[in-house]
Amino acid sequence: MDLIIIGIIDIHTILKTSLKPSIINPVSEYTEKFSGSALHTAANASVLKADVGIISVVGRDAVGLMDVLRRYQIDYSHLVLSSKKNANFIEFYTKTRHYNLYYEGAIDSLQPEKIEKEYLKRAKAVHVCFPDSEVTDYVVQLARKENILTSVDAAFSESDADIVFMEERKQEKGKGKKKEQAKNTIVMNFEKGITANKKKIPIFRGDTYYKNGIKDAFVAAFLTRYIKTEHMEHSALYGSCAAYICSQSRRKVLTCTKEEVDDLFDQKMRNL
């Protein structure tokens, strides 16, 4: 197996209503879909032909999740099942306001003892995007003992992994400074550029609207490339190409083929 992702799979709920007082308000839109950085990163890595597994806690109401994971050929044999409801990110729209709500649900059911060492040993790399430093540190230390490449997303928790992905705006606020001590640090800014160990890597925007979510495409592409080449700058450039293509569809998972990402990467390499 190339890569194991450890993190949260959310249910993303969108609810719209006029919300008038003292009446039963009709709901004009109600949608649910599976979301979350762990799912998006795993799906993007699979699109890029990586052999991917995922460890996440799944609530009792996560109906249909296995179908999504099978569609992307993600190994889900080590999901942690919980009797609690699944984590849920809720966007609630009224006629004049927009509220973001988050229900943590089953998240605390993923404890270090639920993560099996033998499963981690099957992977070349482990990426953690889970908001619990105890779990993150446990995974990083366990993987390190087995000489498995480790990476973390600093937006979720801190750890001294081999590779740390962090967003520039958080670094500027003074958060995540501990991560600068990591062996390899990737600072992501999809408006100005990316730095890989302080070396600048271009982004390719054009007139494209860059929204939240392309980070997961970048991380997935970076890791799938780095596992094979161990070349930091080239992997970051490959990630930048994947982020650009992902942004074209305004979705959080690549809708292209690996060959299309490869072609753009080869073109950018020739132009450097």
Adjacent-strand bridge partners of 247: none
Domains belonging to the chain, first-starting first, are 1-110 (3.40.1190.20)
Looking at the chain, the whole-number percentage of residues with pLDDT higher than 70 is 92
Global pTM reads 0.91
CA 170 → CA 61, 114, 182, distances in Å? Answer: 33, 31, 16
Is a pLDDT exceeding 60 seen at residue 36? yes
Among 249, 253, 245, CA closest to 44: 253
Give the residue, 173 or 99, on which the prediction is more confident: 99
pLDDT in tens, 187-228: 999 888 899 998 999 988 755 555 556 999 999 999 999 999
Q: What is the dihedral of CA 117, 70, 262, 184, to 10 degrees?
A: -30
Within 10 angstroms of residue 70's Cβ, the number of other Cβ atoms is 11
Give the residue, 99 or 271, on which the prediction is more confident: 99
As a whole number of Å, the end-to-end CA separation of the chain is: 33
Residues near 220 by beta carbon (within 8 Å), at least 6 away in sequence? 40, 41, 42, 43, 44, 45, 47, 48, 50, 239, 242
pLDDT score for 181: 54
Instruction: Give the strand pairing for 184-189 and 193-196.
Output: antiparallel
**Residue whose pair of structure tokens reads 């993560």 in the numeric block:** 115
Among 55, 49, 43, CA closest to 5: 55
Counts for the chain of helices (H) and strands (E), in that order: 8, 14
pLDDT in tens, 121-147: 999 999 999 999 999 999 999 999 999
pLDDT score for 170: 52
Among 172, 142, 173, 174, CA closest to 159: 142
Within 10 angstroms of residue 212's Cβ, the number of other Cβ atoms is 8
Are the beta carbons of 84 and 60 closer than 8 angstroms? yes
Residues near 172 by beta carbon (within 8 Å), at least 6 away in sequence? none
Residues near 174 by beta carbon (within 8 Å), at least 6 away in sequence? none
pLDDT score for 260: 96
The rounded distance, in Å, linking the Cα atoms of 108 and 90 is 19
Quickly list DSSP for 217-234.
Answer: HHHHHHHHHHHHH--HHH
Report DSSP state, residue 75: B
